[in-house]
Amino acid sequence: MRNYATQMDAAKRGIVTPEIETVAKKENRSVEFIMERVAKGTIAIPANINHKSLSAEAVGDGTRVKINVNLGISGDCKDYEMELRKVRMAVDMGAESIMDLSNYGKTNTFRKQLIDMSPAMIGTVPMYDAIGYLEKDLLEITAQDFLKVVEAHAREGVDFMTIHAGINRRAVEAFMREGRRMNIVSRGGSLLFAWMKMTGNENPFFEYYDEVLDILRRYDVTISLGDALRPGCIDDASDAGQISELIELGNLAKRAWAKDVQVMIEGPGHMAMNEIAANMQMEKRLCHGAPFYVLGPLVTDIAPGYDHITSAIGGAIAAQAGANFLCYVTPAEHLRLPDENDVREGIVASKIAAHAADIALGLPGARDRDNAMADARHKLDWPAQFALALDPEKAERFYNQVPPTERHTCSMCGKMCAVRTTNMILEGKEVKFCSEKGAC
């Protein structure tokens, strides 16, 4: 029986939890480094007491940038086995987090399987599940009904939940007064906005925020304060609606910490490159250093089919400037539910962005794998290069598609490989390109 309520409660009281020990080892940091920041709220360790298969991860300043993979069942694609294959792939490829965004039918069967099998932390958006879980239309759902869904997800073992508590009446007024090119693009945010306008009531997650926190504290669930008013195109970035909601989220973060509930803040969205760094700094200031979880940001709106690239560009800039957690984007973003290949491409793109930021930030051990890759390339050790690659299968497949005639080179340069040439000269060997018969 543990003698603390949450990871934050333990850290404040100087108790070293198994999860704090785990992340300290993973991050090459001292236990004291992790514990001090968990106590302050600048690092979160999402770890539900009922998620028994979890291998804990830290999200926050001074730790490696983490990535999240979105999965789930929709009304147009009800292939549960395909979604589970995506889960296995995400885990095998090193994704630290999986969000179940299922919004069709009785989603708890898939979610329970996910929690049972996944060492990655699991997130959900209870608002997505409310209609299916309660079997009620939006207008029939009460504030207490929404809290029932939060309780159900927490009890099942979800490590963090996106709760759109910041889109209150004040934030809605700012959004409606200013206007937008794309309006609201957050699914959960749009549903809450519709519920508020149809019922005339305040956002239930804001009005009953203390009750939400009590539920999350009971199961040690981290609250991921959702950005219902995130920009859905670069023209809407950094507007009054987005910033007014961010101000609300900063206050909600402090209220959560007062109850020992860990916090992450969610951010944009779509945003031009020149605005990203300022937005990261603004979040750290307004939200008191809370870990920042961003979708992208996508740096242009004209690349459907390639948005894993637009997202990776924005994600790398954001992570170097202060973002701690990147939500992956696949090539299928804006077009359809991603298939397994889309998921793979999205994971690799996000991991590249996260890893590039880790290197730039000088995090302990961040360059180790790159240095090992450089050593393998120096030796022309192809098996070692494949093993060190973010996507070993693709690297080896590409190499073998056009096999080189010279055993240790690749088909790009062949015998004229710069590494081969330099190695031979430094080893005192003569470099020759032509055979004795004159063929070169």
Instruction: For residue 339, give the amino acid letter.
Output: D
Residue 88 in marked binding region: no
Backbone φ and ψ for 121, nearest 5 degrees, come out as -70, 150
What burial letters (b/e) apply to 170-198, b meaning 16+ CB within 10 Å? ebbebbeeeebeeebbbebbbbbbebbee
Residue 48 in marked binding region: no
Report the distance separating Cα 415 and Cα 101, nearest Å: 51
Report the distance separating Cα 400 and Cα 324, nearest Å: 37
Residue 228 in marked binding region: yes
Dihedral-angle region of residue 388 (phi above 0 means left; psi in -120 to 50 means alpha; beta otherwise):
alpha
Residue 153 in marked binding region: no
- DSSP per-residue letters across 259-312: TT--EEEEE-SB--HHHHHHHHHHHHHHTTT--EEEE--BS-SS-TT-HHHHHH
Residue 427 in marked binding region: no
How many alpha carbons lie under 13 Å from residue 346 in its C-beta half-sphere? 30
Residue 117 in marked binding region: no
Q: What sign does the dihedral 372-373-378-382 (CA atoms) show?
A: positive
Residue 308 in marked binding region: no
Residue 176 in marked binding region: no
Report the distance separating Cα 286 and Cα 280, nearest Å: 10
Report the distance separating Cα 332 and Cα 317, nearest Å: 22
Residue 239 in marked binding region: no
DSSP character for 434?
S
Residue 187 in marked binding region: yes
Q: Which two structure tokens, joined as six digits, stand for 406? A: 């010279």
Residue 164 in marked binding region: yes
Residue 293 in marked binding region: yes
Residue 270 in marked binding region: yes
Residue 413 in marked binding region: yes
Report the distance separating Cα 44 and Cα 20, nearest Å: 10
Residue 128 in marked binding region: yes
Closest C-alpha among 150, 164, 153, 93 to residue 122: 153
Residue 188 in marked binding region: yes
Binding residues for Zn(2+): 270, 334
Instruction: State the binding site.
Output: 70, 99, 128, 164, 186-188, 227-230, 266, 270, 293, 334, 410, 413, 417
Residue ranges of the annotated binding site for substrate are 70, 99, 128, 164, 186-188, 227-230, 266, 293
Binding residues for [4Fe-4S] cluster: 410, 413, 417
